[in-house]
Structure 1
Amino acid sequence: MPTNSRISGLRDHTPQERLALVAEGAGLEASALDALGTESGLSLAQADHIIENVVGLIGVPVGVATNFTIDGTDRLIPMATEEPSVVAAASNAARMARDHGGFTTSYTGDVMIAQIQVLDAVDPHGTRFALLEARDEVLALANEQDPMLVSLGGGAFDISVRVLPTRAGAQVIVHLHVDVRDAMGANAVNTMAEAIAPRIAEIAGTRTLLRILTNKADLRLTRARAVFDAELLGGAQVADDIVAASAFAEADPYRAATHNKGIMNGITAVVLATGNDTRAVEAGCHSHAARTGRYSALSQFEKDADGNLVGTLEVPLAVGLVGGATRAHPTAQASVKLLGVETARELASVIAAVGLAQNLAACRALAAEGIQRGHMTLHARTVAASAGADVDEIGEVAARIVADRKIRVEHAREILAELRAGRGSV
């Protein structure tokens, strides 16, 4: 049964009811998502096998973004984040793109790069040529380290060599290009780099130092595009203002840092929910934003001939479905089931689409009403809880502080005291 991502009124249900509705929308048995509940998620014993010196767990809320159509397929998208408004904003932006076909994506491949640093070469340019001449030998040695990856159609397939001027003198840097298929790829490429380093040192007649992947995964790019309906955005003026805001972020690194943070609100939430490496993805995206030598926006917005807004985003996404926490963490496994993705490419496409949706939502809020109005309204429940409200008091306290336009902890405490005093006097 195909997924239906259009679940109306999901926010009006309890968490338990939402989980059942989401499972139904994804065509899954409700039990398939049990690990998203607090009782069946990651145990302390399981955590002890994932990292060292385990003493406890920290819970992060997992919400589900609705309305997404990506490359013609509906997806219900798990997002792990502590920030209010992120899930709602992504869902709303996806709704605005839905009638225009949703999100379309493209992908450059599952290629990661390992770097081997060669020091003290007497003739760096001659050393570069000697290493390139040994290409086939180096690739064969690398592929001996992972016959399973090679059997799946992946493995090392090329090298490149650079002479890099540094303050410590010229260094020769070897790049090993590896198709890692559906893995994130760090373990595979690091193993290969360490295996070929001694032979590279012999060929170079000197020594190697660092042997490790780069998180600047610019051979693993994902691109997402969507058309957002101008009327749903709020009209032609809002669309024009989003274009102007986008141009600001492209031109100014101070604005670009916050613009890109909005993109990462969506990207990191899906990366975390699926057990992938948030730090690697964030490093890759921010390095891509500075690829011209100047930090700039990762996305662009412009108007099409019909006056609708066209958003585009290009980011490196080193994510996978094989190994690591994705396989070891039960909640990550449940998130992948909910998504219904079967390849790293599909997962990357989902992540890029969510990043673009999140970015559009933030730009719209800034252009139309200011970021605080919507964000702080959704933040009110967190403020109420911080003020000490119980579960059955949070809704009323949140509603009152929103109505008073004083979404602050001290005001929430005043409201809470009034409510409790009133109940005590009955």
Structure 2
Amino acid sequence: MNHQPVEGFSKLTKQGKIDWIVNEYLEGNEEYQQILKQYWNEDPDLQKLHEEFSENTISNFYMPYGIAPNFLIDGKLLALPMAVEESSVVAAASKSAKFWLDKGGFKTTIINTKKLGHTHFIFKVESHKLQHFFNFKLKQKLFEATEDITKNMRSRGGGILNIRLVDKTAEMDHYFQLKASFDTVDSMGANFINSCLEQFGKTLKEEVANADDFTQEEKDSLQVVMNILSNYTPDCIVRAEVSCKIDDLKDDSGISNEEFAWKFKQAVTIAEIEPFRATTHNKGIMNGVDAVVIATGNDFRATEACAHAYAARNGKYSSLTHCTTDNGVFRFWIDLPISVGVVGGLTNLHPLVKFSLALLGKPSAQELMSILAVSGLAQNFAALRSLVTTGIQKGHMKMHLFNILNQMGATEEEKQYFVNYFKDKTVSHHEVIAELERIRNK
């Protein structure tokens, strides 16, 4: 079937959009109309609120919203909200929280909260001449030009921390940056940073045009390419850690505490040196981080991009977590670069985001950074604990069991049968199907 482009799709009503999609791509099947509409909220105001978060909205896409209790973080007992569809994430986080509850819990340290942004520009001028102009004329003008933008942020203790000229001409002809660092306090700060940077671009052009430091030909060569924050924030970083005596690890898998600690450290070291393992290792960390990021209305895509860039900062992709077993003490920690906010964006709009932040005691942005690092560390601990003892499939597939049964249209009675059937067995997709067919035939 040859589909036709559509004009003015965004101007159609919601029903008009659905009609066009179903008729053009789904052969007019009424079932698809109903699939979309069954996820509409019965409260029209709440539905409208959700629709206005994005564009061309025709329905809502639901994800499970779960709770991982018993997290002792810096002396506070918290229950973490987690929006995630992957089986076993919430269960694994909860299991880790319980494991560390009587061992002092999780400790965190905010290492830095600096965020970055750049004005990228091309300027056919000698570097030393531009540096002199920046040092003695431009830098102060940039601060002055953004005073109105930064006034409110400065009143809250944030603002522009520093501005540098960066010479990138060795990598690209005539390429320079204005690199600025920011403190955005409790907001993620994207709009604030981008507004400052766009003003930098305007001020740069104005000051160069009026300067007697450059020839007219040099002035004409200036091109501001873009002004944009960076989602890579290696100086906005938090550490979360757990530790205890190896004698107190008390794993119930049947291996000794010493063997558990040794195997666990080997698993972390493998992730530090082997990128193929590190990718899966870090993905598991982000299972925990992203689930809380989404539940608190923050940008999980930015969080992912930053974490993986940081994992490769030394030229080779490596583990975000680390482990030592020195002097009879087991220590496990993560250094996580993460930029999040608790004001602005969806935090004041989305009802479940409001609930999540209230559940967490209305944390500051720094406190939320700590919670997110802990959620990632807990997830990684649970995964590695399974990998070096019983194997990952035993616990994961038990959580996945209901997905398999739902796909097969299992009754509640059949589901209960399989819970008992796999009580002391490892779940496999093949065995579920075979046993389901057997009992149905019987």
- Could you state the TM-score of these two structures normalised by the residue count of structure 2? 0.81
Aligned-partner Cα distance in 1 for 2:238–2:439? 51
Picking from 209, 212, 216, the partner of 2:225 is 209
Residues 401 and 427 of structure 2 are in contact (CA less than 8 Å); yes or no, is this contact kept in structure 1? no
**Equivalent position SS for 1:66:** strand
Aligned-partner Cα distance in 2 for 1:71–1:208? 46
**2:119 corresponds to:** 116
Residues 117 and 229 of structure 2 are in contact (CA less than 8 Å); yes or no, is this contact kept in structure 1? yes
Residues 389 and 397 of structure 1 are in contact (CA less than 8 Å); yes or no, is this contact kept in structure 2? no
1:421, CA displacement in angstroms?
A: 6.6
Q: Does 1:150 align with 2:171?
A: no
Aligned-partner Cα distance in 1 for 2:99–2:135? 50
**Equivalent position SS for 1:156:** strand
Amino acid at match of 1:323: G
Amino acid at match of 1:340: G
Picking from 262, 272, 294, the partner of 2:294 is 272
**1:233 corresponds to:** 251
Q: Does 1:75 align with 2:85?
A: no
| Superposition pairs of residues 27-426 of structure 1, within 5 angstroms | 43-133=46-136, 134-165=138-169, 168-204=172-208, 205=219, 206-227=222-243, 230=246, 231-234=249-252, 235-305=257-327, 307-390=328-411, 393-400=414-421, 405-408=426-429, 411-413=431-433, 415-416=435-436
1:159, CA displacement in angstroms?
A: 0.8
Aligned-partner Cα distance in 2 for 1:100–1:416? 43
Q: Deviations over 1:48-84 (max 9, x none)?
A: 1111111111111111112211111111101111111
Amino acid at match of 1:45: K
1:372, CA displacement in angstroms?
A: 0.9
**Max radius of gyration: which structure?**
2
Moved more, 118-127 or 49-58: 118-127
**Equivalent position SS for 2:185:** coil
Amino acid at match of 2:390: E
Residues 125 and 174 of structure 2 are in contact (CA less than 8 Å); yes or no, is this contact kept in structure 1? no
1:168, CA displacement in angstroms?
A: 4.0
Aligned-partner Cα distance in 2 for 1:392–1:142? 66
Aligned-partner Cα distance in 2 for 1:358–1:39? 35
Aligned-partner Cα distance in 2 for 1:159–1:233? 51
Label 1:70 to 1:415 Cα distance change in 2 as closer, same or farther (>3 A): same
Residues 401 and 407 of structure 1 are in contact (CA less than 8 Å); yes or no, is this contact kept in structure 2? no
Aligned-partner Cα distance in 2 for 1:109–1:123? 35
Label 1:286 to 1:91 Cα distance change in 2 as closer, same or farther (>3 A): same
Tell me the C-alpha RMSD between the 2 structures.
Answer: 2.4
Moved more, 120-129 or 231-240: 120-129
Structure 2's unaligned 5+ residue stretches are 1-40, 209-218
Q: Deviations over 1:291-315 (max 9, x none)?
A: 112211111011142x342111111
Aligned-partner Cα distance in 2 for 1:378–1:77? 19
Aligned-partner Cα distance in 2 for 1:142–1:233? 56
Label 1:210 to 1:182 Cα distance change in 2 as closer, same or farther (>3 A): same
Aligned-partner Cα distance in 2 for 1:70–1:219? 22
**Equivalent position SS for 2:243:** strand
Amino acid at match of 2:202: P
Amino acid at match of 2:232: K
Amino acid at match of 1:400: Y
Label 1:66 to 1:251 Cα distance change in 2 as closer, same or farther (>3 A): same
Amino acid at match of 1:137: K
1:117, CA displacement in angstroms?
A: 0.4
Aligned-partner Cα distance in 2 for 1:57–1:265? 22
Aligned-partner Cα distance in 1 for 2:43–2:406? 25
Aligned-partner Cα distance in 2 for 1:223–1:253? 22
Q: Deviations over 1:240-290 (max 9, x none)?
A: 011111111111111111111111111111101111000011111111111
Label 1:406 to 1:128 Cα distance change in 2 as closer, same or farther (>3 A): same
Aligned-partner Cα distance in 2 for 1:57–1:291? 37
Aligned-partner Cα distance in 1 for 2:396–2:151? 50
Moved more, 102-111 or 319-328: 102-111
**Equivalent position SS for 2:124:** coil
Q: Deviations over 1:110-152 (max 9, x none)?
A: 3321110020331134323422333232123223214221221
Amino acid at match of 1:177: S
Aligned-partner Cα distance in 1 for 2:149–2:156? 14
**Equivalent position SS for 1:232:** coil
Amino acid at match of 1:232: K
Aligned residues, how many? Answer: 383
**Equivalent position SS for 1:108:** strand
1:401, CA displacement in angstroms?
A: 5.2
Aligned-partner Cα distance in 1 for 2:42–2:245? 41
Q: Deviations over 1:376-413 (max 9, x none)?
A: 112112221122124564333344356664531x6545
Residues 259 and 359 of structure 1 are in contact (CA less than 8 Å); yes or no, is this contact kept in structure 2? yes
1:161, CA displacement in angstroms?
A: 2.0
